[in-house]
Each structure stands twice: as structure tokens, then as C-alpha cells.
Structure 1
Amino acid sequence: MKTHRMLVWMVPLGCAAWLGACGGEQPAPQCTVGRGDHAVRYTLKTGTGACAGKTAEIVGAQAFRVPGSGVPPTLTLKPKPLADNEGKDADPAHSVLASGNFTTEYPGQDGTCVVPGLSEARQTVSPEPGTTVELSYRWSNLSIQGQAAIPGTQWTAQLEYSEGDCTATYEAVGVFPAIKCERQETGPDGKPVTVRDPRVCKQPRPGLSMDPAFPIACDGATNLCVLDGQPPILVP
């Protein structure tokens, strides 16, 4: 997995795990998004064929702002299938990044930050030696949670995804950070093997842990720890 090309997250857990310290009296943070890799769960809305089989994947995210300007920040998304093609293999005519502007600097009355639409992210990739296919991501209607308890760590969006001449639409639900529900153990031959283990999603780890207040499920196709429900959602 070429994770070195994705955005990196190295900040502490969000304060959802300490809701007593993040009460309603706290002022809302500025609109933002968790900086780094998000695990995005997909629900197919329309489409058939090769482009209609997504269940979950990693999408890098980052927000850019001009401090003190009062101007809403800009959101960028980088889907991992395109990020893996970044560098010498990238098509300079297209971008692996999708970008769009937040409508406000601070969350609305419903506690969300909105990005109505983003530019297209597109690349020609080689899924197998000697073959190429063009992938396209068109994101719209992003609604990112901006409450003090979960600032920029849960979100929903609509995605129009194209793979060659096939197009499908999805509902996307993102959670930050992206973690695999996998662990390593020793196999019968003494060599390390990867084992699927949903418990890994909630295990604390240095620098990169899922907030324990988030309900999480292990996606069966990708072994990604995805949000189990619709934002905003916390464990009762």
C-alpha cells in the first residue's frame, strides 16, 4: 500500500471521547476537516458494471485557510486510487486532487460545514501491466460535522464515479482517521500473516487512534474501519 503519498495525520484524539470537557458552552471551531486519510464507506445509488462495486476506500483530506482573513477555507480530497498513481505516472493534464470552497468560515446552526461542489479529480491508471483505465471522481454536497465534539471527523457527500465508460453514483460517509481492522500474527510456517480483527478499530495506538466515542464497523471487502451509522453519531 502506497501510504507515503497520502496526507499524514499525527494529532491527538478528538474531544468526542471526553464529552464532559466539550460541552455545549464551548464555541464552535472553524470549519475544517481532519488532516490526513479518511475511511469512506460507499452506498451505491445508481449504476452497474465495474464502477458500481465500491464499498469503502481511503481518501486523503485537508483544509486550507488564510489566517485572519475571514474567508471560508478550501477543502481538498485525494482518493487513494489516484494518489497511488501520483508522481512519474501521473497525467499532467489532470489532477489527483478535488478542491472546493466551504460556504462559511464557521459551522451553521445545524453544526455542519458545507462544500457544495469540488473540481473533478481524474487520472489514467494501470490496474494491471499493459492495461490502462481512466478514473474520475466528482464530489458534491459535502456536509462535514463541525461541532466541538467531532470537528471535521465525520462527513457525508455524493460521489459520481467513472471508470472507463462506466459511471455510478454513491452516497459517501467518511470518518477520520483511516484505520485497517487487521493485525499481524505468526502462521503455521512461522511467517507473519495478516488477520482480520474488528477489535483493532478501537484499540489505542501512538499518534493514530479512532475516537472511542465513534460507532465503528469493519468493512468486509477492504478491512477498513468505517463509521457505523449516519453523522453526527456517537456511541450512546
Structure 2
Amino acid sequence: MKLRWMAISGGLAAAVVTAGACGSEPVAPCVVGRAVFESSTGSFATTYELKAGQNPDLVCARLKPEPLGLQKFFNPDPKAPDTVGVRSARLGNLLRDFASRLSDASKASATAVGPFASETPGEDRFCTVPQLTPTRLDVTEAQAPDGGILPAQEFGYTWSNLRIYNTPEIPGTQFTSDLVYTENGCTAEYTVKGIWPVVSCQGADGGPDEAKCDPYADYDAGRLRGSGINPLFPVKCDPDVRICVLTGEVPSAP
């Protein structure tokens, strides 16, 4: 299917409306945060929470916060739904590191894609993508530089119930989703949530700096501008990966 990119900033998206029935209030279509902010283009600061009953000691149960790309695609067929693509930064690194050991089919599956359930948000203000195509990277066995054997590996991402919050105050800049992640036969289930944009909070000493997540400038401290994160979002600096992440639920504001 031929796809074309949709690039709409959060502010512009809030102003885009579809005409409803005569006399009815216009309803904004589903949008996904996409404006460019420093190095963040359509990237969401994403956290992974293991669902109940999962074993946190398993290798597949250790996903860390990271940037995750969400992208809305217009469907050229006006009768067909638009779609959303999803790809994590970690998956991008796997594609790079194992590029010579991946089949074309694995590479083609790297971006999970699924159709919106409706053109406009539901009554709960969420735009829902119930199912997305699974991603499976099958890394073939290979010979190591020292003559040894590099074992075959497999990684899988199955996203579902992707829900993107859409209101004038939060125009497609918060999402939540379910994820089944597999790694070499190990499987874990997660609840995932994220906010746009991705903001680094690494301090001058290399450690976390909470001030960099502050949406407001502090001239006395020499910080001439805020983080760019919506002031409605409760956030903290993740100490492991040093990006600002959501601490509340989705939606975390009206």
C-alpha cells in the first residue's frame, strides 16, 4: 500500500477540523504529535511497565525508557482509514547492529503499522489503533571475527490497543499501548505510555538533572527557556536513561 507522510505540528493539528453535519460542532480528526523540537521529530519519551504476573528477572522483562517513533500516514484511498506506524529506538539499534544478518522480510516488518478505528476521537477523546502488524527480527547465525560462531537470535514486538489522546490541550502528544515483547524465546507483556517530545535531562556531570524537565524558564538559574514539555504533564528525569518521562497516567490532564 502506498503511504505518504503526515507532518502536522501539535498547534496546527488542533486547528484542523472536519466538517460535521449541518449545525453540528466541527470535530478535529485524529492527530499524532509530529512537530520538530530540537532533535525530536515525532518521537515520544516512552516507559514500559510489566503487567501483573510477569517475572522481572527475565531478560525480556527489562525494557528501559527510550524514544519511540509514532507516525501518522494518510491513506490515498479516501474510503480507507489512515494508519499509524510505530518503531522504538532500541529496535532501530538492532536493525543497525545486525543489518548484515537480517532477511529482507525482517527488515520490512521493522515498523509496526495499524489502521485507526475511526477518523475522529471517541467520546473518551482517544484515537484507537486496535491492532498493528507484528515486528519480528530473525538474526541468522554467523561467523565471528575470531573464528567462533555468533548464535542466531530473534526479537519480536507485537503492539495492540494503541490509544492516542486528542484534545486541544493535548493534541496527540500522549499515548498508551499494550506490548508483547519476545527475545530468544523469552516473552513479557507490558503496558506502555509516552509523551511528546523527547527531552534529555542529562546534567553537566553526566547524571540526571530534574531542572531540565521543567517546562518553565528560570532566568536566575541561567535557564533561558523551558523544556518544551506540556506544563500539564507530570514528569521526572529517568535516572537510567536521562530523558524526561511521564509519572502520571494517560491522560494525565483534562
1:230 corresponds to: 249
Q: Secondary structure at the match of 1:200?
A: helix
Whole-Å Cα distance in 2 between the matches of residues 146 and 12 of structure 1?
10
The answer to whether residue 188 in structure 2 is matched with residue 168 in structure 1 is yes
Further displaced range: 87-96 or 158-167: 87-96
Further displaced range: 66-75 or 167-176: 66-75
RMSD after superposition = 3.2
* Residues 153-176 of structure 1: per-residue CA shift (max 9 Å, x gap): 111111100011100001111111
2:32 corresponds to: 33
Q: 1:76 to 1:149 in 2, by over 3 A?
A: same
Normalising by structure 1, we get a TM-score of 0.76
Q: Select 2:63's aligned residue among 31, 54, 63.
A: 54
Whole-Å Cα distance in 2 between the matches of residues 58 and 178 of structure 1?
6
Counterpart contact for 2:10–2:172, Cα < 8 Å: no
Q: 1:38 to 1:132 in 2, by over 3 A?
A: farther
Normalising by structure 2, we get a TM-score of 0.71
Q: Secondary structure at the match of 1:181?
A: coil
Whole-Å Cα distance in 1 between the matches of residues 78 and 87 of structure 2?
26
Further displaced range: 156-165 or 85-94: 85-94
Query: Identity of counterpart residues, as a percentage?
Result: 34
Q: 1:57 to 1:213 in 2, by over 3 A?
A: same
Q: Unaligned 5+ residue runs, structure 1?
A: 1-6, 17-25, 186-192
Q: Unaligned 5+ residue runs, structure 2?
A: 15-24, 35-41, 145-149, 218-223
Q: Select 2:214's aligned residue among 195, 198, 202.
A: 202
The answer to whether residue 88 in structure 2 is matched with residue 83 in structure 1 is no
Quote the offset at 1:67 in angstroms. Answer: 7.2
Whole-Å Cα distance in 1 between the matches of residues 159 and 240 of structure 2?
22
Quote the offset at 1:194 in angstroms. Answer: 2.3
1:105 corresponds to: 119
Q: Which has the bigger relative contact order, CA under 8 A and spacing at least 6?
A: 1
- In our comparison, the structure showing a higher alpha carbon Rg is 2
1:152 corresponds to: 172
Counterpart of 1:113 in structure 2: which amino acid? Answer: C
Whole-Å Cα distance in 2 between the matches of residues 131 and 179 of structure 1?
36
Quote the offset at 1:219 in angstroms. Answer: 2.0
* Residues 132-152 of structure 1: per-residue CA shift (max 9 Å, x gap): 532111011111101121111
1:72 corresponds to: 81
Whole-Å Cα distance in 2 between the matches of residues 15 and 104 of structure 1?
17
Count of paired positions: 209
Q: Secondary structure at the match of 1:82?
A: helix
Further displaced range: 59-68 or 148-157: 59-68
